[in-house]
Amino acid sequence: MTAGRLAGTPGDEGLGDVVPFLARLEQADQDALLGLGHELAYAPRVVLIHQSEPSSHVLFIVRGWTKVTAAAANGYEALLALRGPGDVVGESAALTGRTRSATVTALEHVRTVAVQRERFTEFLARSPAVSFALLGLTSDRTRAADRRRLEFASMTVRERFAALLLDLARTHGRRTPEGVELSVPLSKQELAGSVGASREAVQRLLKGLRERGVVTTGRRTLVIVRPDVLRRIARAEEPG
């Protein structure tokens, strides 16, 4: 069971697509597009797409969740997005002919349909409705990323981290007797990369939240016990 929407927090557009690509298409277009490819399955933590590799195909996620990350030359890794059922990954490189700009990794068992780049671009050329849907998706992703950057620029790391946890609880949380457990297994480094902080900074923030009873943590598990406290932090209503 997913957590209810935690409204009124910064970054509400979040790390995932509000409306996945396939959900924007008519059923006939969905079927035609997926019919161009073949199914591929991935186990948890297996990489679907590698950053900087040449583009040869587009992946449509049918089942399961993935994370999108990008690594800088100094090794710093940022969590850019979470993509799940109905989403498309690898489309940017396919359209531009450039190498992959990010790595996509399975967070759980994932099933996809892979469509070769040439078949995908040919389909778009003869399907204006699908092309416009893809343009709309790209615009929405860019707008969400811009809004997130703008909001985060005015926030402290502590505020950004609280907003991130609320976003993950809203989109990938399941209610338990203890609180809202995040259903996506993210490392401290990945959490740090999402808010532009160091792993050590995130460790300190988590320690402080644990000591206050706001969250509990285990190996790649995190349960939010007091979302009300996180909301106050994200809105800068609590002193640092």
Give residue-wise pLDDT tens across range 157-176. Answer: 999 999 999 989 988 889 99
- Taking each helix axis from N to C end, the angle separating 227-234 and 157-172, rounded to the nearest 10 degrees, works out to 130
| Residues 176, 186: Cα–Cα separation, whole Å | 19
| Sheet with 221-224, edge to edge strand ranges | 173-176, 179-182, 221-224, 215-218
Among 151, 124, 152, smallest CA distance to 138 is for 124
**pLDDT score of 8 more than 50:** no
Higher-scoring residue by pLDDT: 197, 152: 197
Average pLDDT over residues 95-121: 94
Give the per-residue pLDDT at 237.
74
The kind and range of the H/E element at 59 are: strand 57-63
**pLDDT score of 18 more than 80:** no
Higher-scoring residue by pLDDT: 53, 12: 53
| Residues 214, 205: Cα–Cα separation, whole Å | 11
Give the per-residue pLDDT at 79.
84
Which amino acid, one-letter code, is at 211? E
Three-state secondary structure call for residue 217:
strand
**pLDDT score of 218 more than 90:** no
Beta-sheet pairing, 179-182 with 173-176: antiparallel
With bands split at pLDDT 50, 70 and 90, how would you rate the model's confidence at 240? low
Round the average pLDDT of the chain to a whole number and report it: 87
Residue length of the chain: 240
User: Can you give the pTM of this predicted structure?
Assistant: 0.81
Give the number of other CB atoms < 10 A from CB of residue 74.
Answer: 5
- Taking each helix axis from N to C end, the angle separating 128-153 and 157-172, rounded to the nearest 10 degrees, works out to 140
**pLDDT score of 11 more than 50:** no
**pLDDT score of 76 more than 80:** no
Q: Which of 70-79, 125-134, 178-187, 227-236 has the lowest mean pLDDT?
A: 70-79
